[in-house]
Structures are given as C-alpha cells and as structure tokens.
Amino acid sequence: MAHVIVIGAGPAGLMAADVVSAAGVRVTVYERMPSVGRKLLLAGRGGLNLTHGEPLEVLLRRYGVARPFLGEAIEMFSPDALRRMAHDLGVETFIGTSGRVFPRAMKASPLLRAWLARLARQAVDIRTRHRMAGFDAAGRPLVAAGFDEPCAVEADAVVLALGGGSWPRLGSDGGWVAAIAGIGVRVQPIEAANVAVAVAWTQHFRERFAGSPLKRIAASVGGQRQRGEAIVTATGLEGGVIYAQTPEIRRALAEGDAHILIDLRPDLNTVDLANRLAKPRGKQSLTSWLRKTVHLAPVAIGLLREASGNALPTDAEVLAHAIKEVRLPVTALGGLERAISSAGGIALDEIGPDMMLRRHPGLFVAGEMLDWEAPTGGYLLQGCFATGHAAGRGVLSYLGERHALSGGDHPSPA
C-alpha cells in the first residue's frame, strides 16, 4: 500500500489527509504541538467563520492577486462543498446577516471532534509532538519526536501544511522557511496580515477613547475603499475595515507614505452633509451640534479633532470635507504575534495547479504557508480547506500515475 505523510495538522493538512485516506491510502500526520487544530479552535472562540455565502465570483475577487492561482481549488471545493462537509460531520451551518457562514453551535470543537473521528475511521495515524527539521540529501523530510534526533521519513508522497507565521504560540511560526529555501524553493518574506495599525494618538485622545468602536465608517487606502467598523486602541486602530486594507497599507509603508482616510458618514455625500452643517447652530456646543445634526458619536468627533489639530473648521463645506476625509498617518503594522493571518510564503509560481512543487515531484504544499492572503470574513479558512483538498487530489493523481507506470492498481482522485 502507498504511504503518504502530511506534516501539519491544521485545516489544510487535515483536509489533505481526509481526501487521501478516503481513497484507501495509508496516511500519517505529524504535528509539532501536543494537539491538533489549535488555530482552528482559536478561530472558534469568535464563532468559527468557516466561509462566506456570497456568489462565488464575488468571493474569488477577495483573494486579490492570488485569485488566478486559488480559483480552481476554490471552485473544486467551494463554500457549498465546505458546508456539505460540515453537514456530513453532523455540524449544521447557517448564513448570518453579514453573509458569513458559521456552525449553529458557534464553536469549532464539535466540528474538529467529528472530523478527527472520521479520520480515525479511515485509519489516519496522527502523531503529535513531532516536528519537521528539514530535508536530507535525498530530499526526504526529516521528522523528530520531541527532542530526539530527526530521522528521514520514507513516503510515496508528502504534503506540507505548516502554516504561516501568525499566532506563533499555536504552532505556526514560519520556522519552515529555511528548510524550504534550502531545497531551492523561492519563499516570499512572511509578514503580518489582517492586523492592527499603529497611529500616533495624542495622550488626551488615547486616554479618552481607547477601546471605543467606530461604527458605520469607510476606510480608504491607495484608492481602495472598505466599509465596516473599527476599534480605537491605545496604539492605533483595529477591526475588519482596517484588516481588509492590510495589503495596501503594507505597500504604502514600503513606499514611505502610509495613511488611512476615514469617512465618518459614508451614507451621506459631501453636498448633503454640508447642507446639514449649514443650519444655524445657535447656542449649542460644537460637539452637541455635530452629534445632533450629523449623528457623529463622541469618538468620531474626537477623531475629527485629532486629525484637525483640535481646531475644527467652521465653514460648513470645509467641515463636511473634513468629516468625509479624516486623514490618519499610519506608522506601522502590528506584529505577527497578534496578526490574524500572514502574507508571504512559498511563491505561487513554484507550485503547480495540483499543489505539487514544480521541481520536487511528490512534494505538495497547502494552506497559509503559500503566498496568498485574504481579508477576514471566512475567506482565510475557505482558502486553507480548498488548497488542502486540492493537495489531496493532487497526491492521488500523482500516486495513480506512478502506479499506472508500474502496472499496479491505484487509487482514484476524490
């Protein structure tokens, strides 16, 4: 019987193991941590946003420059397919008002338990506390149990699903980069994605508004505009509307001029806003007037003052423009230790459509260790599940071709 090893027991690795073992192939999974799926369980604390219910064509656009690479994998294992998989595992899902897809239990543990039970029925051997230590001269992966010396592992095919660099305490710390680069595979630097940004607040604003939500705003960076919500932190801003702009902010920081334009009233155009502001203020304070006339929350008014040097314009048209374009200089992105995901990883032109490394037959890769990124909203897990599924199918095709050449029976791709 053919033997396939999978290194990394996150969503992508477990998916590859599931596809391959379902075809009757012997699979061994190695995981460096004491238990599997730790990052999946962390995501489950927020309800486990599995995928998104929007039309597939719209969903694929969320992957930006990586769409040509990821498109086929996601079409083959679509959001509907992911929901069917959850249903088969006894986990019902629903689409929320935002279009995001969640398990009805709003947590990850039931899904993970059912999935591991299925893998056990398919005779998948999962070995925790086993770390990858590189490759030997013959290109075989070196795996070490605990603090033991690493040993070369024989397999007919290998799937690497070692994660990116975000939340390193959960196991994916990017430590594989040197090993992959050592076998001649090009790797893009791993950087934080879906992460907070640093803004140099004044002490007054920081002390008064840290922790306050900015609701129903729009943020623009480099011509890209995103509506949503954010939270003021002691060091800057975080939240979905900020996370979605991470690629543009990263590029702007590299060019030396990064700033975010916040529209505090995206539902009103500048003319309508100016007309409201042109009404007589009477004896009201400016803060009360802005709150009642254009419905700005105290934190929004504070942000407007912060960006204006605490001196708000009195002209209605100028003030309307200021509300529509609050300019905030960004000094840095947050670090990988708190990032929801990471950018960078194995360059996509090193990987075939079957997720096999082009210059290393039998070596497949999947998940966040590939050079793609996506905003929050279910797109991250969808990409990991889909690339893991594609790697599993790629392994079965590869084994089938090898067995056909040898004249033996072979498994069929799932």
411 domain residue, yes or no: no
Q: Are residues 187 and 260 in the same domain?
A: no
Question: What residue numbers bound the domain in which 107 lies?
Answer: 3-192+342-406
What angle is formed at CA 338 by the lines to CA 326 and CA 383, rounded to 5 degrees? Answer: 90
Sign of the C-alpha dihedral, residues 85, 90, 94, 100? negative
Q: How many residues does the chain have?
A: 414
Q: Are residues 21 and 164 in the same domain?
A: yes
> Given this model, what pLDDT does residue 46 score?
79
Instruction: Please state, in angstroms and rounded to a whole number, the distance separating the CA atoms of residues 5 and 153.
Output: 8
Report helix, strand or coil for 218: strand
Instruction: Please state, in angstroms and rounded to a whole number, the distance separating the CA atoms of residues 214 and 233.
Output: 11
Q: How many CB atoms lie within 10 A of CB 326?
A: 21
Q: Are residues 177 and 42 in the same domain?
A: yes
Q: Are residues 299 and 360 in the same domain?
A: no
414 domain residue, yes or no: no
365 domain residue, yes or no: yes
- Helix locations, 193-235, DSSP H: 203-209
> Given this model, what pLDDT does residue 19 score?
98
Total domains in the chain come to 2
Closest to 19 measured CA to CA, from 69, 77, 79, 87: 77
| Parts of the chain with a pLDDT under 50 | 413-414
Amino acid at 88: D
Q: Are residues 209 and 303 in the same domain?
A: yes
Q: Are residues 186 and 201 in the same domain?
A: no
> Given this model, what pLDDT does residue 102 score?
97
> Given this model, what pLDDT does residue 402 score?
82
Beta bridge partners, 6, equal: 29, 159
Q: Are residues 225 and 363 in the same domain?
A: no
Beta bridge partners, 342, equal: 192
Q: Are residues 163 and 236 in the same domain?
A: no
294 domain residue, yes or no: yes
> Given this model, what pLDDT does residue 405 score?
66
Q: How many CB atoms lie within 10 A of CB 364?
A: 30
Instruction: Please state, in angstroms and rounded to a whole number, the distance separating the CA atoms of residues 59 and 215.
Output: 24
Q: Are residues 346 and 315 in the same domain?
A: no
363 domain residue, yes or no: yes
412 domain residue, yes or no: no
Q: Are residues 326 and 384 in the same domain?
A: no
